[in-house]
Structure 1
Amino acid sequence: MGRLDGKVAIVTGGTSGIGRRTAEVFVREGASVLIAARRESEGNSLADALGKKAGFLRTDVSIEADVKAMIKCAVDRFGRLDCLFNNAGCPAPLGGIEDISLEECVSAMSVLFGGVLLGMKHVAPVMKDQGSGSIINNGSVAGLRAGYSSSMVYSAAKAAVIHLTKCVAMELGENNVRVNSISPGGIATGIFGKALGLGTEKAERTSERLKVAFKEWQPIR
């Protein structure tokens, strides 16, 4: 008997890294999971591997119509929605304040912050009607202090996510809906390679090499 038997969850950015592992653990613990991400081939393969409790929907979290369809798909398929993990991310522009273009900043923010905002906006009525639910937003230690990330735009986006989480938690708490953020340290995923302009395959290989460096940099005692 799993800890999540009978629960239904959505995991955005669920085809790699933290999202993929979360989807795998949720299914292992008994939940039904809708994996939402842009990489269709990887998403369908993962859903097939996880079995009948998993499904995939191609989703761009920066597009409001996609997010609305994502919430509807989960409820239509599984009958309810207990958990939304707003995890989808993207590379953010590097460099100093004089190097960053507004266009690059807005593009990154539309995923890193806008995707979280849209997810909460459209899942809120579902969970309020149920009288229960859990929203988990993926922040970062980069959103807690300056200098942790090489991208100040990424840091600013994650700080905004953390603060928005607190605001929405105050609003939805009276409806028995929990809203929390987590702030992981450096996790060796493909996002680092993609920030340097590498393709998906090379970015994933880079993440394997980063694991050694991260282990030395932030050891768990």
Structure 2
Amino acid sequence: MLTEGMSAASSDVEFDLRSRVRAAVADAEGVVEECDPARDWPDVETWLHARLAYEGEQTFALLADRTAEVAAALGREFGGEPLPPPAPAEPPDVLGHLPPRDAPRGARRPLAARSRSLVMSGYGGLMMALILPRFAGVQLPAWLILTGALTTALLLGGATLTAERRRLLETSRTRSKARVRNDADGFLLVATKHAKDTLRHAQQHLRTECTKRTTDP
């Protein structure tokens, strides 16, 4: 009964911990999608660590409950009081090994490449406004053609700048999500080890108590 009870407790605890971490990661990625990580990452990281710490506390509480249930079942098996559960283990600092890091940012292209894209966009706008009326056989005043050419160049240049900012934002979000998953994996590694060590210690303790019950007159 002891081995079966502790195996079931271990399975429940591991499933609970993984489910909680997965939900925390999904929520964190949703937060990343709604913000600019280059600006808001410290707040996101603080929230993520607090959420993971809370989920760890809930899983460790479940571990204690499952251990107490096994102790009570063993006590009933022996026809007496529940076996005394082991002293609760001191929870580890499951996030202390994660180093503080700067906000993830998108990698800017070299200045020459950005300038070339901007110039080419503006040049393309000028050419469109100057050449299209001729192809269409439309005679327009020179001032109107020039105004249209400048307006088109500005619009295309602005679109290029907007696309560059969007690219940087998406890159920053992608890197932030990878960092969220990395922090969650680090937390899960430490929390899982603590849970397994605690369950192993509890099983040894309960086995000792069972031996005492069977040998005491």
Give the TM interval when normalised to the shorter protein. under 0.3
Q: Which has the higher contact order (CA 8 A, sep 6+)?
A: 2
The TM-score with structure 1 as length reference comes to 0.24
More helix by share: 2
The TM-score with structure 2 as length reference comes to 0.24
